[in-house]
């Protein structure tokens, strides 16, 4: 069995790798948390709109070919 010092050292190293300190700082700063959430929401919305537009255009092209409709 490992001694307490080795276990403590491993625990500290694991916590540093998981960036718990950075997460705690972000969570404690409300303004920064709101700003990050706002920006992530905007980019998710833009990504969804762009993806939907591309998939919609592809679907329209496929349907136009199936039904023999010429697109301008």
Give backbone dihedrals phi and psi of 18, rounded to 5 degrees, phi first: -85, -5
pLDDT tens, residue by residue, 32-41: 899 999 999 9
For 12, half-sphere exposure in the C-beta direction (CA atoms, 13 angstrom radius) is 6
What ranges do the domains of the chain cover?
Answer: 4-67
11 pLDDT more than 70: yes
**Could you tell me the pLDDT band of residue 23, with boundaries at 50, 70 and 90?**
confident
CA separation for the pair 3, 10 (Å, rounded): 11
CA separation for the pair 34, 70 (Å, rounded): 48
7 pLDDT more than 80: yes
Q: What is the mean pLDDT of the chain?
A: 90
Residues 6+ apart with CB under 8 A from 21: 15
- pTM exceeds cut of 0.85: no
């Amino acid at each position: 069995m490992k001694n307490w010092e080795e276990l403590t050292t491993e625990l500290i190293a694991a916590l540093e790798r998981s960036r718990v300190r950075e997460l705690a700082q972000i969570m404690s700063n409300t303004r920064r948390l709101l700003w990050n959430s706002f920006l992530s929401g905007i980019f998710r919305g833009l990504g969804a709109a762009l993806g939907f537009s591309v998939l919609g255009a592809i679907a329209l092209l496929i349907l136009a070919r199936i039904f023999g409709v010429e697109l301008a």
